[in-house]
């Protein structure tokens, strides 16, 4: 993988901010179309999909782990020639002129177009004890931290697809699982919901909210309130996983003049273009239906729109495009090597 540390030219055709499905899909298209593409990601490529325990609704895969799907996205983008800058954080955007300026904690880039695919972050409960016990029993990722609670009692807070998926991952690890939801039914997909409801070690606490997280050196109990009878009570737990929604990562874009709605999601038109010409947005940062397939589609639309902006369209002569040379033999060798390593691991496991 091309993870550049010694930076060369800071001038490029397109800068993509964010390395999740929307950003990677956009990069695959812009690079394949002949645009020089730099993708900046502040943490790790793959986005939140990379830590999803399993995915059953992405076309072409009846079931695939988030880590594997992310790996395939990244390899595809790499094969097309996307230049990754990881880890690197965007700290300021200057978008008012024709040439867009992207400033990071390591470099400054000039681009003809910018695609913002910075995603969204998990919301906090903002209750006493949450901040104090972060990393000490309070978690926002079951895939990341679930194994620490093997054989213990934990709770998941939330009722959407994310919360139910996190809970399903935990059912095979923990002794007992509480799922706390402020409504009287899950908002998750029926298939996921039914699987969770059928799990023998799960107890649903409907119409309930968390008021406090308590403990000593780690989480020991949750103070809850039943919204129907307004009674407060406690449950003893070893940990709590919070999955109550997302906040868009749009502040830097908004500070640069990109229009956002009242919740902070970036406003785009049908071409994924923002209120600033040459600036596009895709994926969870634009709100709406937060699904991998939607993010990928929006990333592709943003890429095609950026291509038209930079080049003037297929028949224009505004810009000479670079030739895309794909080393399929090298990619095939890499796949065969990984397959051999996997077979070795399986052989050792059987022994």
Q: For residue range 131-187, what is the model confidence (pLDDT) as tens digits?
A: 999 989 999 988 888 989 999 999 999 999 889 999 999 999 999 999 999 999 998
CATH of the domain spanning 11-121+246-342: 3.50.50.60
**Comparing 11-121+246-342 with 138-242, is the CATH topology the same?**
yes
Rounded-to-5 percentages of helix, strand, coil across the chain: 30, 25, 45
The pLDDT mean for the chain works out to 90
Are the C-beta atoms of 208 and 224 separated by less than 8 Å? yes
CA distance 28 to 330: 18
pLDDT over threshold 90, residue 56: no
pLDDT of residue 331: 64
Collapse the DSSP code of 101 into the 3-class scheme (helix H, G, I; strand E, B; otherwise coil) and give the result. strand
pLDDT of residue 339: 67
CA distance 108 to 86: 14
pLDDT of residue 245: 87
Between vectors from CA 62 to CA 59 and to CA 66, what angle results, nearest 5°? 80
Are the C-beta atoms of 178 and 206 separated by less than 8 Å? no
Instruction: Domain ranges for the chain, please list them.
Output: 11-121+246-342, 138-242
Overall average pLDDT of the 91-98 stretch: 96
pLDDT-derived band at 330 (thresholds 50, 70, 90) equals low
Overall average pLDDT of the 190-210 stretch: 95
Of the ranges 100-114, 139-153, 203-217, 312-326, which one carries the lowest mean pLDDT score? Answer: 312-326
Task: For domain 138-242, say whether CATH 2.40.160.10 is its number.
Answer: no
Q: For residue range 262-319, what is the model confidence (pLDDT) as tens digits?
A: 999 999 999 999 999 999 999 999 998 888 999 999 999 999 999 999 998 877 756 6
Of the ranges 187-196, 230-239, 258-267, which one carries the lowest mean pLDDT score? Answer: 187-196
CA distance 183 to 350: 46
CA distance 88 to 9: 16
DSSP string, 223-251: EEEETTT--EEEEE-SEEEE---EEES-H
User: pTM of the entire structure?
Assistant: 0.79
pLDDT of residue 326: 66
Collapse the DSSP code of 211 into the 3-class scheme (helix H, G, I; strand E, B; otherwise coil) and give the result. strand
Q: Which residues contact 341 (CB under 8 A, 6 or more apart)?
A: none
pLDDT of residue 5: 43
pLDDT of residue 162: 87
Residue 87, preceding peptide bond in cis (omega within 30° of 0): yes
Active-site residue list: 141, 144-145
């Amino acid at each position: 993988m091309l993870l550049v540390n010694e930076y060369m030219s800071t001038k490029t055709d397109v800068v993509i901010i964010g390395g999740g499905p929307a950003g990677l899909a956009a990069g695959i298209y812009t690079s394949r179309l002949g645009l020089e593409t730099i993708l900046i990601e502040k943490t790790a490529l793959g986005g939140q999909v990379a830590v999803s325990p399993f995915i059953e609704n992405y076309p072409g895969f009846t079931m695939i782990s988030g880590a594997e799907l992310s790996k395939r996205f990244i390899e595809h983008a790499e094969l097309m020639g996307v230049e990754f800058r990881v880890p690197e954080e965007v700290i300021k955007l200057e978008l008012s002129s024709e040439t867009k300026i992207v400033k990071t904690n390591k470099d400054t880039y000039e681009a003809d177009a910018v695609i913002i695919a910075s995603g969204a972050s998990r919301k906090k409960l903002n209750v006493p004890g949450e901040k104090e016990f972060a990393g000490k029993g309070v978690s926002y990722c079951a895939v990341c931290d679930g194994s620490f609670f093997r054989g213990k009692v934990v709770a998941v807070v939330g009722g959407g697809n994310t919360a139910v998926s996190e809970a399903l991952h935990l059912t095979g690890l923990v002794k007992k699982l509480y799922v706390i939801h402020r409504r009287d039914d899950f908002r998750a997909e029926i298939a996921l919901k039914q699987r969770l409801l059928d799990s023998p070690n799960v107890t649903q606490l409907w119409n309930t909210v968390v008021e406090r997280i308590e403990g000593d050196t780690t989480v020991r109990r949750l103070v809850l309130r039943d919204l129907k009878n307004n009674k407060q009570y406690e449950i003893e737990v070893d940990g709590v996983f919070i999955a109550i929604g997302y906040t868009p990562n749009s502040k830097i874009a908004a500070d640069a003049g990109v229009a956002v709605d009242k919740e902070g999601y970036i406003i785009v038109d049908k071409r994924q273009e923002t209120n600033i010409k040459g600036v596009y947005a895709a994926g969870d940062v634009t709100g709406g239906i937060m699904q991998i397939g939607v993010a990928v589609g929006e990333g592709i639309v943003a890429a095609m729109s950026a291509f038209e902006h930079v080049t003037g369209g297929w028949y224009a002569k505004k810009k000479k495009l670079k030739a895309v040379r794909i080393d399929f033999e090298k990619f095939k060798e890499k796949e065969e090597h990984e397959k051999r390593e996997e077979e070795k691991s399986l052989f050792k496991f059987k022994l």
